[in-house]
């Protein structure tokens, strides 16, 4: 256990002195958890190998899972990438700062711990004002996976980070809730097409509007022995209770949830239900049922912003099992589905 300094920063009135302290911690090789517009990240300067190794140790993260490097200005890409195609420049002009990570061929000086031994580096320029100012004051690229214990739901509030990492890292910046709520889109630019390795806030539809559908590859599942990007190979985002991801006709799913709630009540079980406003009914407002809404089904951005917090609320409620309704797989709903799919261990149950 170490003593973790926790500082609260208002994103609309940034405390420069507080961020200067955090930047100093990073420069000397320490670990700092900080907010981005997607989720909170756990950062270390990429050129400090001990700091990078500590990220893996603190999180319990597998060593073959690469890290995303965060920068504060586009010009830093040439410090990290051996080649920067015109496609990357177009994407940067359109989506940076923002929830997009680009995978490019890396320069030799990038430590192997950052890239997990791969010949590529994952780079993003976050949109959160606190992250940008911290990175600017640090003056060096910072590798930062999500600031949670590996495999757990990602942190979208400072309280989530404190619950997971207090006593394990040097400093935590609490700037309140994040905005997007799911991690960045990871886009592989090393081949002839744009390959989405992880869906996120920059959606397939956005990319196709710029480059055309024929140039965007969005495989539902990529089989590889080594993950090319975070969130590809391992079970992620998992709450403490087992999660069942439900698909099927909406009415059929609602009836299934109502039957399940009644059975849980009679058996004295505690269950969590993660669904939508439209799915709520008096039959689900019974003892033993924790009903949590992802918002309106027609607005998947609401579900993205709420998802990880709802999974953690299920942990706090001590439920025995979680039933999650699959979102429509359009726009950022694809990213929400991806996270629930991972949380369910890659299993989907169709309700008929």
54-82 in b/e form (b: 16+ CB < 10 A) is bbbebbebeeebbbbbbbbebebbeebbe
146 belongs to an annotated ligand binding site:
yes
Per the structure block, which two tokens stand in for 244? 């069942």
220 belongs to an annotated ligand binding site:
no
DSSP, residue by residue, 118-160: -SEEEEE----HHHHHHHHHH-S-EE--BSS-TTSPPP-SHHH
Distance CA 23, CA 246 (A): 44
Which secondary-structure segment (H or E) carries 205? helix 204-211
198 belongs to an annotated ligand binding site:
yes
Task: Count the alpha carbons within 13 Å of 317 in the hemisphere toward its beta carbon.
Answer: 24
Q: Give me the residue label for tokens 């990175």.
A: 135
270 belongs to an annotated ligand binding site:
no
Distance CA 296, CA 315 (A): 23
Beta bridge partners of 120: 105
Which secondary-structure segment (H or E) carries 129? helix 129-138
184 belongs to an annotated ligand binding site:
yes
Which secondary-structure segment (H or E) carries 321? strand 321-325
Beta bridge partners of 70: 124, 142
Question: What are the C-alpha distances in Å from 139 to residues 134, 235, 244?
Answer: 9, 34, 44
3-state secondary structure of 283: helix
Cis upstream peptide for 104 (omega within 30°): no
Distance CA 305, CA 188 (A): 25
154 belongs to an annotated ligand binding site:
yes
291 belongs to an annotated ligand binding site:
no
Distance CA 160, CA 316 (A): 11
124 belongs to an annotated ligand binding site:
yes
Report the binding-site residues for ATP: 61, 65, 120, 144, 146, 154, 198, 237
Report the binding-site residues: 38, 61, 65, 70, 120, 124, 144, 146, 154, 184, 198, 237
Report the binding-site residues for L-threonine: 38, 70, 124, 184
């Amino acid at each position: 256990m170490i003593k973790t300094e926790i500082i609260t920063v208002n994103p609309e009135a940034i405390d420069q002195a507080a961020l200067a302290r955090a930047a100093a911690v990073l420069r000397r090789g320490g670990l700092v958890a900080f907010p981005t517009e997607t989720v909170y990240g756990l950062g270390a300067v990429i050129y400090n190998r001990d700091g990078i190794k500590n990220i893996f140790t603190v999180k319990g993260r597998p060593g073959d899972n690469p890290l995303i490097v965060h920068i504060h200005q586009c010009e830093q890409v040439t410090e990290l990438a051996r080649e920067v195609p015109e496609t990357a420049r177009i994407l940067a002009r359109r989506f940076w700062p923002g929830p997009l990570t680009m995978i490019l061929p890396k320069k030799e000086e990038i430590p192997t711990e950052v890239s997990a031994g791969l010949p590529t580096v994952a780079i993003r320029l976050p949109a959160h004002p606190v992250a940008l100012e911290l990175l600017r004051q640090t003056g060096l690229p910072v590798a930062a996976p999500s600031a949670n214990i590996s495999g757990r739901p990602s942190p979208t509030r400072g309280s989530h980070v404190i619950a997971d990492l207090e006593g394990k890292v040097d400093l935590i910046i609490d700037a309140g809730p994040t905005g997007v709520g799911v991690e960045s889109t990871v886009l592989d630019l090393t081949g002839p097409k744009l390959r989405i390795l992880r869906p996120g806030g920059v959606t397939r539809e956005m990319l196709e509007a710029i480059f055309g559908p024929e140039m965007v590859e969005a495989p539902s599942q990529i089989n590889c022995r080594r993950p090319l990007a975070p969130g590809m190979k391992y079970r992620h985002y998992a709450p403490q209770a087992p999660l069942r991801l439900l698909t099927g006709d909406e009415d059929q799913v609602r009836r299934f949830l109502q039957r399940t709630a009644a059975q849980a009540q009679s058996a004295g079980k505690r269950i969590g239900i993660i669904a939508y406003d439209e799915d709520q009914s008096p039959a689900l407002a019974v003892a033993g049922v924790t009903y949590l809404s992802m918002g309106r089904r027609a607005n998947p951005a609401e579900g993205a912003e709420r998802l990880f917090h709802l999974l953690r609320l299920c942990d706090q409620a001590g439920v025995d099992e979680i039933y999650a309704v699959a979102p429509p797989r359009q726009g950022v709903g694809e990213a929400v589905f991806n996270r629930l799919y991972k949380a369910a261990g890659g299993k989907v149950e169709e309700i008929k």
